[in-house]
Amino acid sequence: MRILLVPVAVAAAMLCLSSSIPAATLSVGNGSTFNAGSGTLAMNCGDINVAGTLNGGTALFENSRHSTIDPGGLINGNAATFEVMGDWTNNGSFNPGTSTVNFLDGCGLSDATVSGDSTFYDLNIVTGSGKTYFFEVGATQTILNFLTVLGAPGNDLIIRSTMPNEVAFTLLFGGHVVEYVDVQDNSAIGNIIGPAPAPEFNSIKGPKSDGWFIPGVPIPTLSVWGMLLFVLLIMGVTWLRHRPARTRTT
């Protein structure tokens, strides 16, 4: 079933469609409720703006560009799937339910910004083009169930904060998949994201990325004189172990 922004029940909502329908903007005004129900809402790179209440149901919000929750606005994710190609701005409330939010390539955008504190159930951040995601400094993105952060060979997923040398936060409670990621200025304060050195995940661990990847254990090195003393010590131990035993006479 495929529908273009047709709600199951609408208390008050405004849908703005151009004559050629290149994009569909879903605007839920203050005091209004939009019940998405089921099926597919084809956004065609249009925006989602919520000042009232949006109930996701089990719908797929396909190929949306920017998603904005205004102050006082509420999205109940229910079991819906939200595809977001651009910015995610949460100045209101996002109740995830068991929903999935996918940050993806599309709509001609090479970067996107995630603003505000949000709690996701499943969050997937996937790029094949080397997209950059800027996370708001000081804000925390919480993932309750599963996190996917996935780039591609030669096109790393780049994670930065909105201010260089300042930190945004990721709080992961569940499992994850990570591959081809270049991260800095983002601190994972829950479960470790990538429980091994970054190269094992074809990734790059930059500064101020605590909780992302486990640094490798440094191999100690010796100076030339230290190496000489070490060799002499080994030779001494070997000689002591193999010297002829003395015979005691009485």
Provide DSSP, 160-187.
Answer: EESSTT--EEEEE-SEEEEESEEE-SEE
- DSSP run (H or E) holding 62: strand 60-64
- Both tokens of 56, joined, read 């996701």
- Cα atoms in the 13 Å half-sphere on the side-chain side of 40: 9
Map tokens 């339910």 to a residue.
Answer: 97
Give the span between the Cα atoms of 214 and 177, in whole angstroms. Answer: 15
Three-state secondary structure call for residue 231: helix
Q: How far apart are the first and last CA of the chain?
A: 104
Q: pLDDT at position 40, please?
A: 97
% of residues, the chain, pLDDT over 70: 78
Token code pair at residue 128: 């094949």
Tokens at 49, concatenated = 């703006």
DSSP, res 225: H
Q: Could you say which DSSP state residue 138 is in?
A: T
Averaged confidence pLDDT in the chain: 87
Tokens of 238: 């070997």
Query: Which of 96, 131, 98 has its CA nearest to residue 117?
Result: 96
Q: What's the full length of the chain, in residues? A: 250
- Non-local (6+) Cβ contacts of 239 within 8 A are none
Q: pLDDT tens across 10-52, in order?
A: 333 434 433 345 688 999 999 999 999 999 999 999 999 999 9
Residues 50, 138, 45, 84, CA torsion sign = negative
Query: Is the distance from CB of 11 to CB of 32 less than 8 angstroms?
Result: yes
pLDDT digits (tens, 9 = 90+) for 59-81: 999 999 999 999 999 999 999 99
**pLDDT at residue 174 above 80?**
yes
Query: Is the pLDDT at 180 greater than 90, yes or no?
Result: yes
The pTM of this model reads 0.80
